[in-house]
Amino acid sequence: MNTTTEKCDPGEIEREIGRIKRALLALGTMHPGSVSRQYQVCGKPGCRCMDDQKPRRHGPYHKLSYVHRGRPVCRFVRAECAADLSARLETYKTFRTLTDRWVELSIRQGAADFFTTPTSAGNQGKAAKTDAKRTSR
């Protein structure tokens, strides 16, 4: 979708931005990233994870991964906290969706405000002068 050429009512853009602002105010606690389940090998001789026939890794452990200020962060999360953290991750996804839409609407609004073509009457006069200069050479 090309946001710079799509036509939309400026009032409708303002109303949708207002709806987005209200939705953002209603969001709760959030956290970026994703949670994965990890299984580990401790490496101790005689442990079940080192069994030659049927090795069984330790776990599952819940691992949170995200990037903050350009740096990757990984942390292990207790199993009893994983559900609450998942809700915060979903809230963050909603936050990103809303802000992405707000930016898209702002770009469309800016395109209408700053990059619209002049009226055809004013444009015709300039074109006629340009054509006259070109033909006289």
Is 100 within the bounds of a domain?
A: yes
Instruction: Tell me the per-residue pLDDT of 60-95, one tens digit each, with 9 for 90 and over.
Output: 999 999 999 999 999 999 999 999 999 999 999 999
Domain count along the chain: 1
Is 136 within the bounds of a domain?
A: no
Is 4 within the bounds of a domain?
A: no
Is 91 within the bounds of a domain?
A: yes
Is 53 within the bounds of a domain?
A: yes
Domain containing 29 equals 10-112
DSSP conformation letters of 54-105: S---EEEEEEEEEEETTEEEEEEE-GGGHHHHHHHHHHHHHHHHHHHHHHHH
pTM comes to 0.69
Instruction: Tell me the per-residue pLDDT of 3-34, one tens digit each, with 9 for 90 and over.
Output: 444 556 888 999 999 999 999 999 999 999 99
Unique residue bearing structure tokens 């444009």: 123
